[in-house]
């Protein structure tokens, strides 16, 4: 048999008959019923389901407060506002993330400063953060990339020493833990995302958890135009209809429709986490012996919630580029992806003056990484197909 013809991209038979995406929500009848019930009730925008959802997430992670937002991006914007980020302030963050992380700094007039990643775990490097600190540094935004927690002992120590606010972009990390403590209480504020490919979904949505009451109050005001209705804080105390806009906020409120779905999804979070961890374990067990790739490294002190499973190609052991291998896997109907293009590669950031070469480890990772499908709705057969597809494609391109 012609080896070239074995690959689907060259006319061979694909591993799968149908396309498997890299991520997908799991919505069941219980979820649908929860949303339909909300539609039948009096509140479909701001109502009781939002408080129920906030309570469910706060209790799960062990936080005192939780504030729901219309998206994870809106939540990050709110966190930067609550942290007091403004013009002239620098905020250190990772470039190995979605653009929303650093965009939230720009929204407040601050300047993103990109730290490099740990070359093994791919999370933001405390040593890189330390080397970037200046008198203008206001905050640090960590990114728990793929679901693996950042090195929080070192990062929180730096923050305390330099009086910095720490915001955790935990869009990937609901259910992850660091030294036995759930992500959601370690940083000053932690953001979770509820996009359809995340651990639970509300369609679009985000949330900030915190143990700081002052930050909590700022977040609540910010998501609703900066409007205050508390009679003890406004001037016209004798007018029951009166309210005051005391700061410039945004309409970043989550709806009850979204929140009711979130409440229902939270009931299934333990199952979702179990499946993600099981599938990730199967991937590693089957693929870690391939000399042409690197499977994800896991720190002993933390436990990933496995939003993403990425493999890193050893291109010196392959007779093909990352693009060729990516296309070959897609042709096998395996919906691989790439996470992420370093933020400062984007044209908008280039126009702001950021140059390539800022973060060598981040840039090297980007050139070599491929994301495999990983989501709870997958079946064991789906996982087997992905493993078979990776082995098939890597075997074809492997240096003999």
- The tokens for 190 are 């932690």
Place of tokens 């030294």: 179
Beta bridge partners of 177: 182, 303
- The tokens for 148 are 């693996």
Closest C-alpha to 63, from 168, 211, 194, 268: 211
The sign one gets for the Cα dihedral 297, 299, 303, 305 is: negative
Dist CA 226 CA 243 (whole Å): 10
Answer yes or no: 198 catalytic.
yes
Q: What is the maximal distance between C-alpha atoms in the chain?
A: 87
Interacting residues of 340 by C-beta distance below 8 A, sequence separation 6+ = 96, 97, 98, 366
Choosing from 198, 218, 275, 392, which is the catalytic residue? Answer: 198
Sort residue 65 into left (φ over 0), alpha (ψ -120 to 50) or beta.
Answer: beta
Dist CA 68 CA 204 (whole Å): 11
Q: Are 389 and 332 in contact (CB under 8 A)?
A: yes
Dist CA 91 CA 95 (whole Å): 12
Closest C-alpha to 252, from 218, 206, 294: 206
Measure CA of the first residue to CA of the last residue in the chain; give whole Å: 18
Q: Is beta strand 189-193 parallel, antiparallel or unpaired with respect to 227-228?
A: unpaired
Q: Are 89 and 111 in contact (CB under 8 A)?
A: yes
Phi/psi at 182 (nearest 5 deg)?
-60, 140
Q: How far is CA 341 from the centre of its chain?
A: 14
Coil, helix or strand at residue 157: helix
Dist CA 360 CA 96 (whole Å): 11
Interacting residues of 13 by C-beta distance below 8 A, sequence separation 6+ = none
Q: Catalogue the active-site residues.
A: 198
């Amino acid at each position: 048999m012609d080896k070239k013809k074995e690959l689907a991209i060259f006319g061979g038979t694909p591993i799968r008959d149908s396309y498997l995406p890299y991520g997908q929500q799991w919505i069941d009848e219980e979820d649908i019923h929860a949303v339909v019930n909300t539609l039948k009730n009096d509140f479909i925008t701001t109502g009781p389901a939002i408080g129920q959802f906030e309570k469910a997430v706060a209790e799960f992670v062990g936080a005192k407060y939780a504030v729901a937002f219309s998206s994870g991006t809106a939540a990050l914007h709110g966190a930067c506002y609550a942290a007091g980020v403004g013009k002239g302030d620098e905020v250190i963050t990772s470039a190995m993330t979605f653009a929303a992380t650093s965009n939230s700094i720009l929204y407040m007039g601050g300047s993103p400063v990109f730290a490099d990643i740990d070359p093994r775990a791919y999370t933001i490097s405390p040593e890189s953060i330390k080397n970037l600190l200046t008198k203008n540094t206001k905050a640090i935004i960590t990114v728990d990339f793929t679901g693996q927690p950042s090195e929080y002992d070192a990062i929180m120590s730096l923050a305390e020493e330099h009086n910095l606010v720490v915001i955790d972009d935990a869009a990937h990390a609901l259910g992850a833990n660091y030294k036995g403590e759930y992500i959601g209480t370690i940083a000053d504020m932690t953001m979770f995302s509820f996009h359809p490919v995340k651990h639970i979904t509300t369609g679009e949505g985000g949330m900030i958890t915190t143990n700081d009451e002052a930050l909590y109050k700022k977040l609540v005001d910010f998501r609703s135009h900066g409007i205050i209705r508390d009679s003890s804080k406004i001037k016209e105390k004798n007018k029951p209809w009166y309210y005051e806009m005391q700061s410039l906020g945004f309409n970043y409120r989550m709806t009850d429709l979204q929140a009711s779905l979130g409440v229902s999804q939270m009931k299934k979070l333990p199952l979702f986490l179990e499946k993600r961890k099981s599938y990730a374990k199967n991937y590693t067990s089957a693929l870690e012996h391939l000399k042409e790739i690197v499977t994800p490294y896991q720190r002993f002190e933390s436990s990933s919630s496995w939003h993403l499973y990425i493999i890193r190609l050893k291109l010196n052991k392959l007779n093909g580029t990352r693009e060729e291998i990516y296309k070959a896997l897609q042709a096998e109907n395996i919906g691989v992806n790439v996470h992420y293009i370093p933020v400062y590669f984007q044209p908008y950031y280039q126009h702001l003056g950021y140059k390539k070469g800022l973060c060598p480890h981040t840039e090297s990772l980007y050139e070599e990484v491929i994301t495999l499908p990983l989501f709870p709705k997958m079946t064991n057969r789906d996982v087997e197909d992905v493993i078979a597809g990776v082995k098939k494609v890597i075997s074809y391109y492997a240096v003999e």
